[in-house]
Structure 1
Amino acid sequence: MTEVDKGSEKLIRSLILTHFPDHAFLGEEGVQAGAAASRKALEEMREEEYLWIVDPIDGTTNFVHGFPFFVVSIALAYRGEVIVGVVYDPSRDELFVAEKGKGAYVHGARMEVSKEQQLSDSLIATGFPADQQTALPINLKGIQAIAPQVRNLRVAGSAALHLAYVAAGRLSGFWEIGLSSWDMAAGTLLVQESGGVVTDTEGAGYHLGVRNVVASNGAVHEELIAALQAAAATGS
């Protein structure tokens, strides 16, 4: 986490709690790195009535290197269910917004997921997990299995923006292993409100505790899940 991450999160936190002082706030700042710490931080707060879940810069490594694929991700959960999701891409000045039951929009235009019906026609994205001991080897298996089955594969370094692109129909699917709630809470609602599907890698429904996520236009979801499960079942 950079000083810009910390400063951005402090600003966002201050603005939110000024308007909603009784709400809870969960962000990366103050949470130690690693799966156990992020899981513990979520569990301590997920029973709050209203919980804001924020990643001040999703794609920090990209930001540091001047690679223009990073976003601000803000979600609001009510009793454990995300009801508002916002992803802002400052490099392209694109604002992706969703409210549960009311659709998802980019700069006021309603979004819909892509129309591809099979993986062979689909552009799919994934990411390289920070956990190089456990999550990375699992994801590399998935890449080896899925890359030959799709039109092409992208790895650009921001889960939240990948999810926004699934919602906007620019990608037909996305998966990643070992994410934290702040990486995907907003993006998952964007996908769902655009007509897409979000589950874990076993095909079970998404909730805030999910760390291994699959999002798609729905049509290619079963095919994507099957490929990932087959890859996970192979030996090292």
Structure 2
Amino acid sequence: MIDFKEYIPVAQKIREAVLPLLDSGLGKEMTGIASSGDTTFRMDEIAERVLSEELKSRNLPVAYYSEDRGLVEVHREPKYLLIVDPVDGTRPAVCGFEMAVVSMAIAAFRKKPTFSDLLAGIIVEIKSGDVFFADKLSGTLTFPQGKRLNLSENTDLTRLYWSFDVVGRPVRPLMAALGDLIQGSAVNGGCFLWNSAAYSITRILLGQLDAYLDPGGKLMAELDQAELRFREAGRGRIVGLFPYDIAAAQLIARQGGVIVTDAGGHSLKNVPLIPQKEGEILSLVASAGPVLHEKLLFYLGRHPVKKTCF
């Protein structure tokens, strides 16, 4: 049986390459547009280059799908598909904050892979170097040294510690969906905007957060003139939560007992790992326990945005 831990050094090499940019200000330079539609910063460009170089130099039997380059076949006959966000949390990273990771998920290579094909996940925190790893086949779950699984038992939404993302999401509809939860938890709990789904989800494992929510895909399905609203927010492009943002983190989190579904309560197992067309953004609810999860889904169900005019 293959030891997927051999892919961890690839993620660590990416981290080493971008780490000097964290406090330099150089990583903020915009260099293009990613295949996803999001902005490519200098830090992203460097991380993508190192990813490609490392995979080629190691002659690993893989293809990879990344935020900036899309699908790339490194090997003639790939056995595995890597779903990679070389820097998840570029915006906080270029400001020197810690809310940024290298995210790498490993799936069986096939024509139309889904989340059910994922085999392993690797998260490497850029600032600290901490590594999270999970192997679905062996049941292995590895935490950074000195840290352990510590799921919150909170089920009170007014005491909720949670995060959400805003990049590319139309803010007014987003606030219609999340505003009551933000206001309700802001005093006795805490609401955080980190713009890194993978970092946020791994905080649930450590007990630092109770939940992570991104209703973007729900907004796309419910909102009147949804494509127009998302393109306005994304400067002509549809930007939101994509599989590469969460593939590794959700596998690691589920192995630790975190509940993960879309905003409608559905499993992600049949969701494609490679988007088939523009605008296929996801929604996500990740929480520390089933009671809290049901409360969050009920909350989202009571806050539709279809009839709101923005």
Name the TM tier (shorter chain): 0.7 to 0.9
Match of 1:213 among 284, 296, 302: 284
SS at match of 2:179: helix
Aligned pairs, number:
219
- What root-mean-square deviation, in Å, do the aligned CA atoms of Structure 1 and Structure 2 show? 2.4
* Correspondence for 1:6: 45
Match of 1:87 among 105, 119, 123: 123
* Correspondence for 1:175: 213
Match of 2:144 among 99, 106, 119: 106
Q: Distance in 2 between matches of 1:168 and 1:12?
A: 28
**CA offsets 1:163-222 (integer angstroms, 9 cap, x no match):** 110122211100112301111111111210111110000000123447111100123101
Change (3 A) 1:171 1:57: same
Change (3 A) 1:128 1:51: same
* Correspondence for 1:141: 176
* Correspondence for 1:29: 68
Q: Distance in 2 between matches of 1:106 and 1:142?
A: 34
Q: Distance in 1 between matches of 2:213 and 2:143?
A: 22
For 2:178, the aligned partner's letter is I
Q: Distance in 2 between matches of 1:50 and 1:232?
A: 39
1:222 is aligned to 2:260? no
SS at match of 2:140: coil
Comparing 174-183 with 112-121, greater Cα deviation is found at: 112-121
Q: Distance in 2 between matches of 1:114 and 1:19?
A: 40
Comparing 71-80 with 160-169, greater Cα deviation is found at: 71-80
Instruction: Measure how far apart 1:104 and its partner are.
Output: 4.4
Unaligned runs of 5+ in 2: 1-39, 72-77, 217-239, 273-280
Instruction: Measure how far apart 1:119 and its partner are.
Output: 2.1
For 1:220, the aligned partner's letter is L
**Do the aligned partners of 2:67 and 2:85 also contact (CA within 8 Å) in 1?**
yes
**Do the aligned partners of 1:96 and 1:105 also contact (CA within 8 Å) in 2?**
yes
1:72 is aligned to 2:72? no
Match of 1:118 among 128, 145, 156: 156
Q: Distance in 2 between matches of 1:51 and 1:184?
A: 15
Q: Percent identity?
A: 25
Higher Rg: 2
Change (3 A) 1:228 1:58: same
**CA offsets 1:144-165 (integer angstroms, 9 cap, x no match):** 1312443221111211100110
**Do the aligned partners of 1:104 and 1:111 also contact (CA within 8 Å) in 2?**
no
